[in-house]
Structure formats: C-alpha cells, structure tokens
Amino acid sequence: MRQQNSAPKHVVILPDGNRRWARERGLDTVEGHKAGYKKLIDLCRWARDRGVKAVTAFGFSTENWNRPKREIQYLMNLLETGLRENFSEESKKAKAKELGIRVRIIGQKGRLPQSLQKIIGEVEEYTKVNTKLYLNLAISYGGRWDIVQAAKKIIGEGIRPEELTEELFNEHLTTGDLPDPDLFIRTGGEQRLSNLVIWQAAYTELYFCPKYWPDFSEEDFDNALAEYARRQRRFGR
C-alpha cells in the first residue's frame, strides 16, 4: 500500500479571479481585490491550523505594472492598508500576533511607493519573532526576475562558474531560506504558473481550482490538501 504524503510544509497560492468575481456581481474590480485580500487572511489561518509552515502568495506581479494606473494605485493602497491593519505593531486588531505569522515581502521593493516600502519594513521587523507560519507576499515579483537577481548576486560575490551548483543558486533566490514548495494552488480556472516561483516549482505538485479566489473556501483548501496527499512524489526517480 502506497504511503500518503504528509501535509505540505510550503504552499504557493496564486489567487486568480478577483476582477472576474467582481464583474460578474456588477461591482467595481477593486472590490474583487478587497475581497481577495480578506480571503488571504483566512487562508493563512487554515494553513497554520493544518500544519503548513510557509505560504507564498502572489500579491502583485511584475506584469501587473501594465494594468490601468487607477487599478495599480488602488492595489498599492490596498496592500499598504492591509499590511498596516493586519500585521503592524500600531494596529489594535493585528492578525500577526493572533496567527503567529511572520511576514516577508519578496519582489522589487524599490519600485513600490515610499509609503508602502515604509510599512513593509515595519511589518517585517515587527513580525520577525513569530514562528507559527511564514508568509511570503510576492509584490512586484516575477519568477524570471528572481532568477536574474540571483545570478547578479552570484556574479557580484565573485563566485566562479566551477563553484556554482543548483543548491548555491537556490540560496540566492528570494525564497532561498525556505524549502521548495510542495503544493502550488491556482484558482480562477487558468492552468499555468504565470511566472511565479518558476525555479522553485520544478517538482511542486500543481492543483487548479475553477473557483474565483474570493469564493475559495476552507473546504476547497482541504480538497487541495487531500489531492496532494494522494499523489506519489518521485522527484524524477
């Protein structure tokens, strides 16, 4: 009898479908993003309660900079407000302490508004003592960018080609201190990685849910974990 996988330690979430969810309800697309952010907080709780140690979630991709300026501005404001209200020291209802979440932002922080950069620094510092769940929020992030920035670091450190290994390269990625993802969940009906952790996901189990992200439920998450448990991971062997 084949032994089932234990709960995944590192789960990647690509929360797709916020805008379509809003449009089908006659709402402004920004309302979909607001509902999606609230769902991410729920997901963190579900993951923590099921023994997941790390969650990497797409918040804003490098390609999202091509969206309308109004939507980009709203997303930046939403991210700033969400981080301040849920994870900062100044918030009276912060979820960071309640959920034991350590928050880290991965991506091109220098492209973000100064006010968002400031709250990111505060949240990362404030939550660094938390140990129950590690939340990587990918903002202005792209998998190809991650590979290029790792290569630049390696060149800058003067590492010779004969010294370079996959393990060493992995250490220079933005997720280098975490194990590779076990499970990649994408909502919204699309079935592609969309430039999220493309190096790290080489042997990650993929799970696609047709529901839009704001409709993704705790039962849906459990279904994804159950499917993961049924799969046999061979890692090319």
Sheet holding 205-208, edge to edge: 101-106, 133-141, 54-61, 10-14, 183-186, 205-208
Determine whether the annotation assigns residue 6 to a binding site. no
Helices 69-87 and 114-127: angle between axes, nearest 10 degrees: 30
Determine whether the annotation assigns residue 67 to a binding site. yes
- Round to whole Å and give the CA distance between 4 and 175: 26
Determine whether the annotation assigns residue 17 to a binding site. yes
In angstroms, what CA-CA distances link 127 with 54, 64, 142, 157? 14, 27, 24, 30
> Is residue 182 flagged as an active site residue?
no
Determine whether the annotation assigns residue 145 to a binding site. no
Determine whether the annotation assigns residue 205 to a binding site. yes
- Round to whole Å and give the CA distance between 24 and 62: 26
Determine whether the annotation assigns residue 21 to a binding site. yes
Determine whether the annotation assigns residue 62 to a binding site. yes
DSSP per residue, 6-21: ---SEEEEE---HHHH
Determine whether the annotation assigns residue 90 to a binding site. no
> Is residue 64 flagged as an active site residue?
yes
Determine whether the annotation assigns residue 70 to a binding site. no
Query: Of 5, 64, 77, 130, which residue is the catalytic one?
Result: 64
Annotated binding-site residues read 16-21, 33, 61-63, 65, 67, 186, 192-194, 205
Annotated binding-site residues for substrate read 17-21, 33, 61-63, 65, 67, 186, 192-194
Annotated binding-site residues for Mg(2+) read 16, 205
For the annotated catalytic residues, the residue numbers are 16, 64
